[in-house]
Amino acid sequence: ALVFLLVALWMGAFRATSLAGHHAAEHQVVHAAERGVPLTVEAVGRMERVHPRCGTRLAAAALMLVAAGWAGETVGVAGYVLGGMATLRWWNGVGDWLQ
C-alpha cells in the first residue's frame, strides 16, 4: 500500500511541474521527426502527446506487477495469476493514461 501512495504522490508532483508539459512536447517532436514533418511549432503542436515507446509504459507495467505481487500475498496464487493477466491485458493503456 505504501508503494501506491508514493507513486500517487510522485505523479501528482510531476503533473504540478512544467516537466510534464516538456515530456509531452518531447513526444510530439519525436512523432514529427519520425514522420518527416518539419520541426516547426505549428507542425509539432499537431502531433500526438502519447508515444508508444515511452518508458512510462514500462513503469506502468512494473507498477501493475508490484500490485499483482501485493494481491498474490493477500489472496494467494489467484492474486498472482489475475494480476499478471491484468498486467498483460492493460499495461499499454495504463501507460498511455499515465503519459
Instruction: Per residue of the chain (99 residues), give pLDDT as tens.
Output: 676 777 778 778 877 888 888 889 999 999 999 999 999 999 999 999 999 888 888 888 888 888 777 777 777 777 778 888 888 888 888 888 887
Please tell me the pTM assigned to this model: 0.67
- Whether 64 and 94 have beta carbons less than 8 Å apart is answered as yes
